[in-house]
Structure 1
């Protein structure tokens, strides 16, 4: 069995990250997944190997810590792995008024959603440039397109990641490297449970989002917004979108 490429997926034990691991494994990629929970990594590894009959590597790392990206990169180097595709998927959101959200939790979210993806891009891009090939898929959100009352830091972190990714894409193209950004809307994952909010009725399945993301990545699309309704929302004025976000948050309290 020939493995064409190696893909590294952060936050690969659940949600979109897990479904992306499934898609890549189904297409005979050599998959490595990262999570802070070692037991979940072991369970996910066995599940993927039993289902797809491919080797799955696991790396335990809490990427909400400042030095975690460097530690992960050192682990990859120690394994003498060449990463062809990097998927910066790990992230979480916090809901509530800014003054009500715990400062330490906000800090962890900012590190995980912004600092770690930037560090991993900066660490993995040089070897990709040297090979003149490779891809990076950064997972942002439709929240990146407007401020988010009651999810202020989360939306801002995703806006940062989108802007950063588009800029790096421009730089990387001359080196034969693709940088793409996935901006899903509400998705049926444990994201909302962690936020302490009910699942939106219009949420897409994580499996469908992952399948579309894989297709768009292969086509080297710059910004990927799965779902017609999610794309249509982006034509609305920012103030109207902000009002909708704020009303949804109030109603779910």
Structure 2
């Protein structure tokens, strides 16, 4: 069954490119009105204009730096003042760094933790009560295949995504009787700007997927009668994630370190 979202509103973070803009296009095609957030105002407005023209939906844009403390609650307050209620939240904003921790810039990794972890929790907590009250939408938190094992050379990023996976699976259980569909989406290497920000393609383990392929995985999960608590995009990635969970910890750690650092 294909889920439709006509008459609902979806909030998508990190919506100016990559997975975020693809999520926006797919939910617009299924009838949802949108609230899109990102730091890059011009890119965000361009995405919004195209979706309004293509689908005749309402698109609200908010230029926000979610790594600032309290940004999620600030967005909720602003939308409440405008009379906009959110049915679906897609926490997509995030970035990664790749270096041994001792070489990382403390300011950058603090921002990484703030965006990947604190902002996701803050935004989820701000909007969860109203999403539960309608039970018509979904909560999708974008994790990563990096969540399934420690990742030497990307220690902060891997740990942040492990948090997202654990947090989301727990929320899925807490809300299982509500009608809200909650799951963690775990992509592997994807053709987005992620690796441009990272500064290297060396951490791209396995076949690169397109953003469209990853969102196909998310939508199939939403369309299932029972939504899984987490889903890995790509057959090869599912195999690798399964192996990481079954191998002795020291072996999965060594394999991940070799894959990322080579």
Query: Normalising TM by the smaller chain, what interval?
Result: over 0.9
Residues 13-52 of structure 1 deviation map (CA, whole Å, 9 limit, x = unaligned): 1111111111111111112111012122112112222333
**2:211: which partner in 1?**
206
From 237, 242, 247, the equivalent of 1:235 is: 242
**1:174: which partner in 2?**
177
Matched, 1:141 2:144: yes
The CA RMSD over aligned residues, in Å, is 1.7
**1:120: which partner in 2?**
123
Task: State the distance in 2 between where 1:40 and 1:235 align.
Answer: 37
In the TM superposition, residue 217 of structure 1 has moved relative to its aligned partner by 2.1
**1:245: which partner in 2?**
256
Equivalenced residues, count: 250
In the TM superposition, residue 132 of structure 1 has moved relative to its aligned partner by 4.4
SS at match of 1:57: strand
Whether the aligned pair in 2 keeps the contact of 1:23 and 1:211 (CA below 8 Å) is no
SS at match of 1:33: strand
**1:225: which partner in 2?**
232
Structure 1: where are the runs of 5+ without partners? none
Task: State the distance in 2 between where 1:50 and 1:243 align.
Answer: 50
TM-score by length of 2: 0.90
Whether the aligned pair in 1 keeps the contact of 2:87 and 2:130 (CA below 8 Å) is no
Task: State the distance in 1 between where 2:169 and 2:37 align.
Answer: 24
SS at match of 2:107: helix
TM-score by length of 1: 0.93
Whether the aligned pair in 1 keeps the contact of 2:33 and 2:59 (CA below 8 Å) is yes
Structure 2: where are the runs of 5+ without partners? none
Seen in structure 2, the aligned counterparts of structure 1 residues 132 and 56 have a Cα distance that, compared at 3 Å, is closer
From 102, 109, 115, the equivalent of 2:105 is: 102
Point out the more displaced range, 95-104 or 214-223: 214-223
Residues 150-197 of structure 1 deviation map (CA, whole Å, 9 limit, x = unaligned): 000100000011111111111112333221110111111010110011
SS at match of 1:203: coil
